[in-house]
Amino acid sequence: MSEVAVSGLTAGYRDHTVLSGVSTRVESGSWLGVIGPNGAGKSTLIKAVLGLVGHTGEVSVDGRDVAGLGHRERARLLGYAPQLPQLPIGLTVTDYVLLGRTPYTGVLARESERDRIAVAEVLERLDLTRLADRGLHALSGGERQRAVLARALVQDTGVLLLDEPTTGLDVGHAQALLDLVDQLRCERGTTVVSTLHDLTLAAQYSDRLLLLDGGGVHAEGPPEHVLTSDTLAEHYSARVRLLTAPDGSPAVVPVRTTAGTAG
């Protein structure tokens, strides 16, 4: 059970308010996709849930106010894969992913066999085993992205907050990553909140979408209700056509208006 509730959240940076009065509820074991144009405040929402940016309003997990939790307790509850992580220099992939176990082991304690097994398992599932001993600095962008997710996954939390987890991934690795998160969701009842720019993928994996723009929530509900060509024209200034993917979810296809010269 890990229900996330956000109530009357106002968040921002110094004198710059980004989000005003945002409320939502993410049922335990469900997946909320946070969408919206660049600068809408998607990352800010995730960071506010984690307590990383100043905010007022309430964030709770299973009724427990997150603001009242210590750092370690919070890290056992909320796993986070940031959009632009600061990666420590000089660590191998394995050592970096092992850092995800520190809420259980402590920073200076040696990791247990159980920790090593958990890391090896996640590396395998994210196609990183052959890179386990490679330095983080020597990874491609997509490999680094997967290492960041691996670290969040070994944290073994009831809630996963994923900020643009598929950025820089090819379509196969993006699918594998989202499939893995979805599998964890089904197996362990993990609650997922992710931002995703790819609206077709967002629609395929999310139970509900929340559309942010101009500091507030403009739409929330099942993907087929939130993703309409009018909504996308209004909030993204995008010309799109909505098709139906084989699984029945909406697929967003950009429409080019100027005459092409290809072919």
Ligand X SMILES: Nc1ncnc2c1ncn2[C@@H]1O[C@H](COP(=O)(O)OP(=O)(O)OP(=O)(O)O)[C@@H](O)[C@H]1O
Smallest gap from residue 247 Cβ to ligand X (A): 26
DSSP state of 36: -
Smallest gap from residue 64 Cβ to ligand X (A): 25
Say how many Å lie between the first and final Cα of the chain, rounded.
54
Asked if residue 22 lies in contact with residue 45, where contact means CB atoms within 8 angstroms, the answer is yes
Residue in 24, 30, 44, 166 binding ligand X, rule: CB under 6 A: 44
Per rule CB under 6 A, is residue 194 in the interface with ligand X? no
Q: Which stretch binds ligand X (CB under 6 A): 38-46, 144-152, 180-188, 238-246?
A: 38-46
Using DSSP bridges, classify how beta strands 159-163 and 78-81 pair: parallel, antiparallel or unpaired.
parallel
Residue in 2, 26, 33, 41 binding ligand X, rule: CB under 6 A: 41
Report how far residue 94's alpha carbon sits from residue 211's, in angstroms, rounded to the nearest whole number: 36
Report how far residue 61's alpha carbon sits from residue 73's, in angstroms, rounded to the nearest whole number: 12
Residue in 40, 59, 217, 226 binding ligand X, rule: CB under 6 A: 40
Q: Which is nearer to ligand X, 22 or 184 (CB)?
A: 22
Asked if residue 179 lies in contact with residue 171, where contact means CB atoms within 8 angstroms, the answer is no
Residue in 24, 30, 43, 200 binding ligand X, rule: CB under 6 A: 43
Beta carbons within 10 angstroms of residue 218's beta carbon: 16
Report how far residue 261's alpha carbon sits from residue 251's, in angstroms, rounded to the nearest whole number: 25
Asked if residue 47 lies in contact with residue 33, where contact means CB atoms within 8 angstroms, the answer is no
Residue in 42, 55, 74, 151 binding ligand X, rule: CB under 6 A: 42
Stretch 149-178 residues interacting with ligand X (CB under 6 A): none
Per rule CB under 6 A, is residue 36 in the interface with ligand X? yes
Per rule CB under 6 A, is residue 38 in the interface with ligand X? yes
**Residue numbers at the binding site for ligand X (CB under 6 A):** 13, 16, 18, 36, 38-44
